[in-house]
């Protein structure tokens, strides 16, 4: 299976054309004609993930966050990005990412979050003009629950050690909005669409001063997005059931809690 064929399959679900203008999803390193022996998945391409790929004979790395995000002016061993690019090229690796294009399809990052919570009647939190894609999701819990019950469910489903939250709502929660990653810019959309709770990551201090009846829950960037690796794995195995693909053992959160 050539790298180009694998990429074509992934882009049939999340085409790069729908990514945000500032993004750099797609092929970062490698040749579309490379014969792929196996692939590993990670939220981020790190030196540890590249080492794991080389050690296991894997020659394709598929990530959510792009390896090359901002302009690279030098490729030297003085920076971790430079070291990764040098190593990847020397080892003839293919590195590919699905970032905001995977954020904007209903079955993508936020869709996996919604699945974990069992949300129903889903719609986009901020739809694109086409209405077929958008950012974030809003939906209904199968049964209303107290905020404490929702917190425990979120901690369990997303493997969260701790949660940052604005004041807890007094009423039971039935309508929830979600956005994987950095979702602070969509907090107003979540409130205006009638969500009682908005679950995302990277919330700044002042946004925790919310209106009564509306609560923001910050579960962390990594924690909210890492489920997308299961989505990507399922896309590949559905069409390529014998393809050797797995989630990297060294797919780790760069943020440590003490």
Same CATH fold, 104-218 and 3-99+226-247? Answer: yes
Q: 233: Cβ–Cβ under 8 A, 6 or more apart, which residues?
A: 41, 245, 246, 247
Domain locations along the chain: 3-99+226-247, 104-218
Helix axes 228-239, 3-13, angle to 10 degrees: 120
Q: Per-residue confidence at 58, pLDDT binned at 50, 70, 90?
A: very high
Look at residue 205 in the predicted model and tell me its pLDDT: 98
Sign of CA dihedral 181, 185, 191, 192: negative
By C-alpha distance, which of 254, 250, 256 is closest to 42? 250
User: Using CA atoms, how far apart are residues 242 and 20, in angstroms rounded to an integer?
Assistant: 33
The yes or no reply on domain 104-218 and CATH 3.40.1390.30 is yes
N residues, the chain: 258
* pTM reported for the whole predicted model: 0.96
pLDDT tens-digit series, residues 23-54: 999 999 999 999 999 999 999 999 999 999 99
Distance from the Cα of residue 207 to its chain's centroid:
22
The yes or no reply on domain 3-99+226-247 and CATH 3.30.420.40 is no
Residue 59 pLDDT > 90, yes or no?
yes
Longest dimension (CA), the chain: 58
H/E segment holding residue 179: strand 173-182
């Amino acid at each position: 299976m050539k790298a180009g064929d694998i990429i074509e399959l992934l882009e049939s679900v999340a085409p790069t054309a729908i990514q945000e203008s500032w993004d750099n999803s797609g092929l970062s390193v490698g040749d579309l004609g490379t014969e792929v022996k196996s692939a590993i998945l990670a939220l981020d391409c790190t030196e540890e993930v590249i080492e794991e790929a080389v050690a296991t004979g894997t020659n394709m790395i598929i990530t959510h966050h792009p390896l090359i995000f901002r302009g690279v002016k030098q490729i030297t061993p003085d920076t971790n990005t430079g070291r990764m690019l040098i190593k990847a090229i020397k080892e003839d690796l293919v590195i590919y990412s699905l970032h905001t294009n995977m954020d904007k399809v209903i079955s993508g990052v936020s869709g996996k979050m919604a699945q974990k919570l069992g949300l129903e009647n889903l719609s986009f939190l901020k739809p694109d003009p086409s209405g077929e894609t958008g950012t974030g999701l809003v939906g209904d819990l199968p049964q209303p629950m107290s905020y404490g019950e929702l917190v425990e469910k979120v901690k369990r489903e997303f493997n969260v050690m701790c949660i940052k939250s604005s004041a807890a709502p007094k009423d039971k929660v039935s309508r929830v909005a979600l956005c994987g990653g950095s979702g602070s810019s969509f907090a107003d959309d979540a409130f205006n669409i009638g969500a009682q709770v908005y679950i995302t990551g990277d919330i700044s201090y002042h946004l925790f001063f919310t209106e009564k009846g509306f609560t923001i829950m910050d579960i962390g960037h990594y924690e909210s997005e890492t489920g997308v690796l299961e989505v990507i794995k399922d896309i590949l195995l559905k069409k390529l059931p014998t393809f050797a693909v797995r989630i990297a053992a060294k797919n780790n959160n760069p943020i440590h809690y003490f």
